[in-house]
Amino acid sequence: MESFLWCIGLACEPQLEFCRTYLTKIGNLIFIIDDIYDIYGSIDELELFTSAVERWEINAIEVLPDYMKICFLALYNTVNEMAYTTLKEQGYSALQHLNKAWENFCRSMLVEAKWSKKNYMPTLEEYLANAWISSSTPLVHVHAFFASKQKITAEALDCLNSESDLAEQERGDVPSAIQCHMCETNATEKVAREKIRDIIKETWRKMNKSASDTPFSPSFVNIIENHARNAHCFYQHGDGISVQDNVGKKRVQALLVKPIV
């Protein structure tokens, strides 16, 4: 449900139904894989999962622990199906981009899992460089690009592959960034919050600026901007995704269930 809600925020137009459906599946996979790296997996198991994603072969499933097999297979089938659709409808083989994005995501999750096991507190810079990938932002952008059936040009693909200003945005788990900054500089929480707020503002400024100079269509720029807006909306009062409270429920009911009177 939360994943679907996020996707409505990204792409609400009627003609983007395929994009919403597909990204909802991707969102679920992100939540599950995030939990595997954060909670369930030992470092050895996580290394196996990461290398299975790097290999991107069906046989890789054999070396995984049982509880990871179904997740890997779901990931493999879902992403391959997207690649199949893009190849069939647009004549372009997108698998390299989709796969690369998952590889980077899993590697960054592995870095965080190792930090956490070692009780290592990264500097803010270290944290942000990794969290930019582990927040799944570039991963979602790559999938949104193909799922919303954008015109595939060399310039757009280059931009998608690079970390352009447009793609750089604040992530949801800022409380951790605040902690990193406090630990690194002995700043008070108030000062650290202001620092992060400045970074967010600066990032929006850059994003606004680069929105007018990009190889992407306005409709895709809108999806990317919506992604950043979503982060504000879902995380403005704490974790609005994984915390099951009344706020989320009311939001869903107001938006999707109850008729507008």
Ligand X SMILES: *[C@@H]1O[C@H](CO)[C@@H](O)[C@H](O)[C@H]1NC(C)=O
Residues that bind ligand X in the complex, under the rule CB under 6 A: 185-186, 201, 204-205, 208
Q: Kindly list the distances between the CA atom of residue 31 and the CA atoms of 9, 38, 79, 245, 253, in Å, as whole numbers in the listed order.
A: 17, 10, 15, 18, 22
Residue 217: CB atoms within 10 Å: 13
Of residues 205 and 258, the one with the C-beta less far from ligand X: 205
Q: Which residue type does 185 have?
A: T
Nearest to 31 by CA among 123, 178, 135: 135
Cβ at position 192, least distance to ligand X in Å: 13
Q: Who's near 197: CB < 8 A, 6+ residues apart?
A: none
Cβ at position 31, least distance to ligand X in Å: 29
Cβ at position 203, least distance to ligand X in Å: 8
Residue 143: CB atoms within 10 Å: 27
Cβ at position 244, least distance to ligand X in Å: 31
Helix residue ranges per DSSP H, the chain: 2-10, 17-35, 43-55, 66-90, 95-117, 124-134, 137-147, 154-161, 174-185, 189-210, 218-235, 246-252
Cβ at position 201, least distance to ligand X in Å: 5
Of residues 77 and 123, the one with the C-beta less far from ligand X: 123
Of residues 61 and 183, the one with the C-beta less far from ligand X: 183
